[in-house]
A and B are shown apart, each in its own frame.
Chain A
Amino acid sequence: MSKPESKAAGKSEVVKDLSMLKQKEMITRNYDALTSAPETGRKVAATFVPGNLNELIQVFGLLNNLPEINAIQNGMRKLSGDYILEAEKRGHSEDVCTYVKADLGSMAKGNLAPNGKPLPRPDVLLLSYTGCFTFMKWFELVRNEYKCPTVMLHVPYQGEGTTTRNMRDYIVKQLKQEVIPKLEQVSGVKFDIDRLRELMRESAKAEDDFVWVLETARHRPSPIDAYFGSVYYTGPIFTAFRGTPDASEYYRLLRAEIEERMAKGLGPITPEGDMKQQKYRLVVEGPPNWTSFREFWKMFYDEGAVVVASSYTKVGGLYDLGFRHDPDHPLESLADYAMGCYTNMNLPQRVGLLEKYMKEYEADGLLINSIKSCNSFSAGQLMMMREIEKRTGKPGAFIETDLVDPRYFSAANVKNRLESYFQMIDQKRRVASAA
């Protein structure tokens, strides 16, 4: 993902930008590795963010290409609108997940990476998470296009609000019997469990620092924005970099920068500059809108609203609840990881998590950004909001946008709702302080 450019150009800003530069360089390198795969002969796996097996992919020397991330990239670079239209021209209806359509449309139009070169054909489609049913259909369409091998790891849903030994064994068995043999076959590399342990050791290091950063939002003022800003912070750990020394380095740099901001009492860095006043502390549920990401963020910035915790930054793992990739139990921990991502939690678990965030991060309210084309996220959200209101006594608000379809971001409407919501919090506060 590209980084927000810092407007302020003071001396200390140079230090802050180090993590951003680092991530930018990592992403560029990864795209270059992907687009040069036909020349270098490296094999490519395509996979999704939730429950991804990045360490395992690396054991086999495969490059990791994430179509969701490509769709986000194209959304932020204002390209997704055209791609979606292209996909619709090819017969995909208006209500289909817009990540899918942005990806299929991009494929139809040359599948260009941000470096302007075409992304390679995948050598294997690794479906390592089935909690989103659309993922399965998405890869079915991609497989139809590329006629490449597919590996499917079936991940049981936490319908009862917990994972069991049985569920874990079931995943480990699939890893041993299906996933690993297939990846060996595609890559021609023999599985090496010690290499996997090594990568996981590196993952856990980065995960510690990542959690440390997320939890700084407990402070007042919060030195980070746990939704817009943290989308960038999740980049390396949710995607192709987890388990690499690069990722550990990124989080080390980031941690130092946030430590410094906190020591200086600074708020988050935003595309509009440092956030000065923090009038509202919010918990946000649901993915952001990518096509108007900056405009959306600015609506919060202008009103002095900082996000202190979000569920979206947990789609690639609930590290803040204690999960770490465990080198001593590598396959088991991959199983736990896949089952533990946010979208695999049932509704009561999600409500419980949001309630915990509301309380622990001392939030003023819960905001839900409901995504029309993502039922995995959206189903039950209004009920969740009511429940949080009941349990915390804090007001909730509901806005509706989309992931990467620019047609579904109505700025005036979203702004109107947000402003109303912030003024509502104000009014409630005034009444509370008068009482």
Chain B
Amino acid sequence: MKCFIGIDLGSTTTKAVVMDDGGKQLGRGITNSRSNYDTAAAVSKQEALIDARFTLFRRGLEGEAALAGRVDAFLAELERNFRHVQFLEQLDDLEATGVRHGAGLRFAGQEKPLRAALGEVFRQLRAESEGIFAPGAKRKSDFFRDIAGSRFMALGDAVCKEAGLSFDLLLNVYDKSIIEVENRPPAGAMEGKFLRALEKTLGATGQAAANGVAHRVQAALAIPLEEAYVVGTGYGRVRLPFPKEHIRSEILCHGLGAHIMYAGTRTVLDIGGQDTKAIQVDPDGIVENFQMNDRCAAGCGRYLGYIADEMQMGLHELGPMAMKSTRSLRINSTCTVFAGAELRDRLALGDKREDVLAGLHRAIILRAMSIISRSGGIRDQFTFTGGVAKNEAAVRELTKLVRENYGQVTININPDSIYTGALGGAEFARRAVQV
């Protein structure tokens, strides 16, 4: 089956979308961009292809009587098991890499206890991974680094204390190893991992039904996913190992992606990690005009990241806290660092955290509104994309300001808007082959 792939290399995350030749989305993948765009591109693409497999499983299982009404649950289970298999594989890799790094001169005399401690930490990690990937378990992040990292720290500290070993040594090994493992896209044939996950998932099912399901899943697995054309976009795009004609500007990709998500889109606002773009598109999703922030990235996603650090909060906690505000304070939006100073000043004066945060969200959106107006204003329909579109407080402020300035306009926010650029890229890939 021919696949058309769009990869959006963002400053924070890298996204990929796989599309079939009918323009239907087959799968999506996301990973952290690291400092290595090549790996990020490879990983996100692999993730999107895994997701595409699940779409094929779903298509294959639709007529399966044994799963009538339970296809979703079955696939969720299959994915959970697949992720677990994948996690364990990466854990093996991390351990092997750690053992290698722990053998250096730096650790002379302590190699043995270090090795033992590593073995113990990984044993515990494997044991508790069942729980991490248990049905209904919530994971803060799906990135290997995040899951493995936070647990490694917690378990490692305890293990070291018990063994009378310096935790710094273990940490040093971890830091060296995680970068290596992270920059090594998961190896091995996907098929084997799917089959192991399938086996585990079917364990609970009756034999006859299991055979039918297994047969259909295996048939879907046998469909070759052929990469017909890949288009890259985003700031890292020039680093992609593609010829120039496979690279599109993210402005065009976002415009087209938003058009695919909402055909009535005429104005797009994208607030990403380091830039804010306002894009005007025609009824076919072709970009007519655009404006973006220049020289300074205040008012972008990173502004929120900085504020979260300043307040010692998680990035995702900012929005919910700002929603509690009853009165929004005025905070400047021209400089991130100054906003940080202003924030501390306000808090020192006794203003409430939620009110200060509400003011910060408003500041970001005010900046975006200025960029929008320079691009030609908001036309119906208006589509908001990018990481910041997930922030409810930002959405609330935006909605308010749009109503005040442009009246009743349809505002579209797709929960998967983070994939907008990659989606547009995939469609460009599809068109490139069709023309």
Q: Which of A382, A410, A420, A427 contacts B286 (CB 8 A)?
A: A427
> Which residues of B lie under 8 Å from residue A431 when comparing CB positions?
284, 286
Please determine whether A416 and B289 come into contact, CB atoms closer than 8 angstroms. no
Which of B275, B284, B295, B374 meets A408, CB within 8 Å?
A: B295
Q: How far is the CA of A409 from the CA of B240 in the complex (A)?
A: 25
Min CB–CB distance A418 → chain B (angstroms): 9
Distance in angstroms from A432 CB to nearest chain B CB is 10
Is residue B404 contacting chain A, with contact meaning CB distance below 8 A? no
Instruction: Establish whether residues A382 and B292, one from each chain, have CB atoms under 8 Å apart when the complex forms.
Output: no
Give A287-336 interface residues, CB cut-off 8 Å to B.
Answer: none
Contact B295 A420 (CB under 8 A): no
Give A377-435 interface residues, CB cut-off 8 Å to B: 382, 386, 389, 395-400, 408, 410, 412-413, 416-417, 419-420, 423-424, 427-428, 430-431
Q: Which of B31-39, B148-156, B248-256, B329-337 contacts A (4 or more CB under 8 A)?
A: B248-256
CB distance from B318 to the nearest CB of A (A): 26
Instruction: Let me know if A420 and B290 touch, CB within 8 A.
Output: yes
Chain B window 264-294, contacts with chain A (Cβ cutoff 8 Å), 1 for yes, 0 for no? 0000000000010000000010111111101
In angstroms, Cα B287 to Cα A242, docked, is 45
Q: In the bound complex, do residue A419 and residue B286 qualify as a contact, i.e. CB atoms below 8 Å apart?
A: no
Instruction: Give Cα A398–Cα B374 distance, bound, in whole angstroms.
Output: 10
Contact of B252 (CB < 8 Å), options: A398, A408, A413, A427: A427
Residue in contact with A382 in the complex, picked from B248, B284, B374, CB distance below 8 Å:
B374
Known contacts: A416-B235, A419-B249, A420-B251. The answer to whether A428 contacts B286 by CB under 8 A is yes
Given contacts A413-B295, A431-B284, are A396 and B252 in contact (CB under 8 A)? Answer: no
Q: State whether the Cβ of B60 lies closer than 8 Å to any Cβ in chain A.
A: no
User: Closest CB-CB distance, B280 to chain A, in whole Å?
Assistant: 10
C-alpha gap A69/B275 in the complex (Å): 35
Known: A386-B376, A431-B284, A431-B286. A416 touches B249 (CB 8 A): yes
Is B292 in contact with A396, judged by CB distance below 8 angstroms? no
A416 to B295 Cα, complex, angstroms: 13
- Max chain B Cβ within 10 angstroms of own Cβ: one of A413, A419, A427: A427
> Can you name the residue of chain B whose Cβ is closest to the Cβ of A409?
B295
Q: How far is the CB of A395 from chain B (nearest CB, A)?
A: 7
Do B249 and A423 touch across chains, with their CB atoms under 8 A apart? yes
A420 to B275, CA, bound (A): 14
**Nearest-neighbor residue (CB-CB) of A425 within chain B:** B287
Q: Once bound together, how far apart are the Cα atoms of A396 and B294, in whole Å?
A: 17
Given the known A-B contacts A386-B376, A400-B295, A427-B252, are A420 and B287 also in contact in the complex, defined by CB atoms under 8 Å?
yes
In the bound complex, CA of A122 to CA of B288 (Å):
51
Contact pattern, A 46-71, Cβ under 8 Å of B = 1, otherwise 0: 00000000000000000000000000
Residues of A within 8 A of B284 (CB): 431
Least CB distance from A416 to B in Å reads 7
In the complex, which residues of chain B have a beta carbon less than 8 angstroms from the beta carbon of A430?
A: 435
Q: For the complex, give the distance between the alpha carbons of A423 and B256 in Å.
A: 13
Separation of A129 and B37 alpha carbons in the complex (Å): 52
Chain B residues lying within 8 Å of A428, measured Cβ to Cβ, are 286
**Chain A residues positioned under 8 Å from B250 (CB to CB):** 416, 420
> In whole Å, how far is A374's beta carbon from the nearest beta carbon of chain B?
15
- Report the interface size class on chain B: 20 to 34
B374: which A residues are within 8 A, CB to CB?
382, 398
Residues of A within 8 A of B286 (CB): 424, 427-428, 431
A420 touches B252 (CB 8 A): yes
Distance in angstroms between the alpha carbons of A135 and B42 in the assembled complex? 55
Please measure, in the bound complex, the distance between the C-alpha atom of A400 and the C-alpha atom of B295, giving whole angstroms.
8
Q: Complex formed: what's the CA distance from A417 to B275 in Å?
A: 12
B287 and A427 contact, CB distance less than 8 A? yes
Q: Classify chain A's interface size.
A: 20 to 34
Which residues from chain B contact A399 at a C-beta distance below 8 Å? 294
Nearest-neighbour CB distance to chain A for B147, whole angstroms, equals: 32
The interface residues of chain A lying within 8 Å CB-to-CB of B291 are 398
Residues of B within 8 A of A386 (CB): 376
| Residue with the greatest number of chain A CB neighbours at <10 A, chosen from B235, B249, B376, B435 | B249
Contact with B along A351-388 (1 / 0, CB 8 A): 00000000000000000000010000000001000100
Contact with A along B223-248 (1 / 0, CB 8 A): 00000000000010000000000001
Which residues from chain A contact B435 at a C-beta distance below 8 Å? Answer: 430
> Within 8 Å CB of A397, what residues of B?
290
Report yes or no: A412 in contact with B235, Cβ–Cβ below 8 A.
Answer: yes
- Chain A residues lying within 8 Å of B288, measured Cβ to Cβ, are 395, 424
- Residues in B with CB closer than 8 Å to A372 are 295
Cα A420 to Cα B289 with chains together (Å): 10
Interface centre among B252, B374, B376, B435 (most CB of A within 10 A): B252
Q: Which residue of A lies closest to B252 (CB)?
A: A423
Knowing A382-B374, A395-B288, A412-B235, say if A423 contacts B295 (CB, 8 Å): no
Interface hits, A66-101 → B, CB 8 Å: none
| Closest partner residue, chain A, to B234 (CB atom) | A416
| Most chain B CB atoms below 10 A, which of A395, A397, A412, A424 | A424
- Report the minimal beta-carbon distance from A406 to chain B, rounded to whole angstroms: 12
Which of A389, A395, A413 interacts with B294 by CB under 8 Å?
A413
Q: In the complex the two chains form, what is the Cα distance from A419 to B237 in whole Å? A: 12
The answer to whether A410 and B295 have CB atoms under 8 Å apart is yes
By beta carbon, the residue of chain B nearest A400 is B294
Query: Which of B250, B286, B287: most chain A CB closer than 10 A?
Result: B287
CB distance from B371 to the nearest CB of A (A): 11
Interface string of B394-435 (1 = CB under 8 A from A): 000000000000000000000000000000000000000001
Residue of A nearest to B293 (CB): A413
Asked whether, in the complex, the Cβ of A424 is within 8 Å of the Cβ of B252, the reply is yes
> Which residue on A lies nearest to B292, using beta carbons?
A417
* A412–B288 CA distance with the chains assembled, in angstroms: 22
CB proximity of B300 to chain A, nearest CB, Å: 12
For the complex formed, measure the closest distance between the CB of A289 and the CB atoms of chain B, giving whole angstroms: 12
**Residues from 370 to 389 in B contacting A, C-beta threshold 8 Å:** 374, 376
Q: A420 and B294 in contact (CB under 8 A), knowing A386-B376, A427-B286?
A: no
| Distance A398 CA – B291 CA, assembled complex (angstroms) | 7
Residues of chain A with a CB closer than 8 A to B292's CB:
413, 416-417
A-side contacts of B251, CB under 8 Å? 416, 420, 423-424
A398 to B, closest residue via Cβ: B291
Q: How far is the CA of A395 from the CA of B290 in the complex (A)?
A: 10
Q: How far is the CB of A349 from chain B (nearest CB, A)?
A: 23
Complexed CA–CA distance, A413 and B291 (Å): 11
Chain B residues lying within 8 Å of A408, measured Cβ to Cβ, are: 295
CB distance from A431 to the nearest CB of B (A): 6
9 contacts between A and B (CB under 8 A): A372-B295, A399-B294, A416-B235, A420-B252, A420-B287, A424-B286, A427-B252, A431-B284, A431-B286
Interchain residue pairs A-B with the least CB separation, the first 6: A420-B249, A420-B251, A400-B294, A424-B287, A419-B249, A423-B249
Other contacts beyond A398-B374, A412-B235: 7, CB < 8 A: A399-B294, A416-B235, A423-B249, A424-B249, A424-B252, A427-B252, A431-B286
| Residues of B participating in the A interface, judged by any CB pair closer than 8 Å | 235, 248-252, 275, 284, 286-292, 294-295, 374, 376, 435
Footprint of B on A, CB under 8 Å? Answer: 372, 382, 386, 389, 395-400, 408, 410, 412-413, 416-417, 419-420, 423-424, 427-428, 430-431
